[in-house]
Structure 1
Amino acid sequence: MIDMHVTLPGGLHPLTLNNPVMTASGTFGYGVEFTPYGDLTKLGGIVVKGLSLAPRRGNPMPRVAETPCGMLNAVGLQNDGAEYFVRTTLPKLPWREVPIVANLYACDPGEFGELAAVLAAEEGVAALEVNISCPNVKEGGVIFGQDPRQAAKVTEAVKMRAGSKPVIVKLSPNVTDIAHMARAVEDAGADVLSCINTLTGMGVDINTRKPLLANVVGGLSGPAIKPVALRCVWQVAKAVSIPVIGIGGITSAEDVLEFLLVGAHAVQVGTANFIRPDFVFRLVDDLAALCERMGIEQWDDFRGTLKV
Structure 2
Amino acid sequence: MGTAIGSVLLPNPVMTASGTVGHGAEMARYLDLSELGAVVVKSLAAYEWPGNPSPRVHPVPAGMINSVGLQGPGLPRWLAEELPVLAGTGARVVVSIWGRTLDDYAAAAALLASAGDPVLQAVVAVEVNVSCPNLEDRGRMFSHSAEMTRAAVAATAACGLPRWAKLSATGNLVEVVDAAMEGGAEAVVLVNTLLGMVIDVEARRPVLGGGGGGVSGRAMGPVAVRAVHDVHAARPDVPIVGVGGVATGTGAVEMLLAGARAVQVGTATFADPRAPVKVLRGLARWCTSHGVDRVDELVGAAHE
Task: Report TM bin, short chain.
Answer: over 0.9
In 2, the alpha carbon distance for the partners of 1:307 and 1:267 equals 18
Q: Is the 8 A contact 1:17 1:98 kept in 2?
A: no
In 2, the alpha carbon distance for the partners of 1:236 and 1:307 equals 12
* TM-aligned CA deviation for residue 158 of structure 1: 1.0
Instruction: Give the alignment partner of residue 239 of structure 2, picking from 243, 249, 263.
Output: 243
Instruction: Give the alignment partner of residue 201 of structure 2, picking from 196, 202, 206.
Output: 206
- In structure 2, list runs of 5 or more residues that go unmatched: none
Instruction: Give the alignment partner of residue 293 of structure 2, picking from 283, 289, 297.
Output: 297
Match of 2:166 in 1: 170
Match of 1:260 in 2: 256
Compare 104-113 and 117-126 and name the one that shifted more. Answer: 117-126
Answer yes or no: is 1:155 the counterpart of 2:153: yes
* TM-aligned CA deviation for residue 97 of structure 1: 3.7
Cα deviation code 1:196-226 (max 9, x no counterpart): 0000001112222221111111000001111
Letter in 2 for 1:194: V
Match of 1:269 in 2: 265
User: What are the equivalent positions in structure 2 for 1:278-289 lying under 5 Å apart?
Assistant: 278-289=274-285
Aligned pairs, number: 298
Match of 2:49 in 1: 56
Q: Is the 8 A contact 1:56 1:80 kept in 2?
A: yes
Share of identical aligned residues, percent?
38
Cα deviation code 1:135-185 (max 9, x no counterpart): 2212322211101001100111112x121x110000111x22211111111
TM-score (norm 2): 0.94
Match of 2:58, SS state, is strand
Q: Is the 8 A contact 2:91 2:122 kept in 1?
A: no
* TM-aligned CA deviation for residue 298 of structure 1: 1.5
Instruction: Give the alignment partner of residue 118 of structure 1, picking from 111, 118, 126.
Output: 111
Letter in 1 for 2:14: V
User: What are the equivalent positions in structure 2 for 1:46-85 lying under 5 Å apart?
Assistant: 46-85=39-78
Q: Is the 8 A contact 2:250 2:282 kept in 1?
A: no
* TM-aligned CA deviation for residue 96 of structure 1: 8.2
Match of 2:254, SS state, is helix
Compare 25-34 and 244-253 and name the one that shifted more. Answer: 25-34
Letter in 2 for 1:260: L
Compare 61-70 and 185-194 and name the one that shifted more. Answer: 185-194
In 1, the alpha carbon distance for the partners of 2:88 and 2:28 equals 14
Match of 1:137, SS state, is coil
* TM-aligned CA deviation for residue 35 of structure 1: 1.1
Cα deviation code 1:69-96 (max 9, x no counterpart): 0100000001111011010110011368
Shift in alpha-carbon separation, 1:31–1:257, aligned structure 2, 3 A: farther
In 1, the alpha carbon distance for the partners of 2:303 and 2:276 equals 29
Match of 1:229 in 2: 224
- In structure 1, list runs of 5 or more residues that go unmatched: none
User: What are the equivalent positions in structure 2 for 1:124-143 lying under 5 Å apart?
Assistant: 124-143=122-141
Match of 1:181 in 2: 176
Letter in 1 for 2:261: H
Compare 290-299 and 60-69 and name the one that shifted more. Answer: 290-299
What is the root-mean-square deviation of aligned Cα atoms in Å?
1.4
Q: Is the 8 A contact 2:24 2:85 kept in 1?
A: no
* TM-aligned CA deviation for residue 239 of structure 1: 2.7
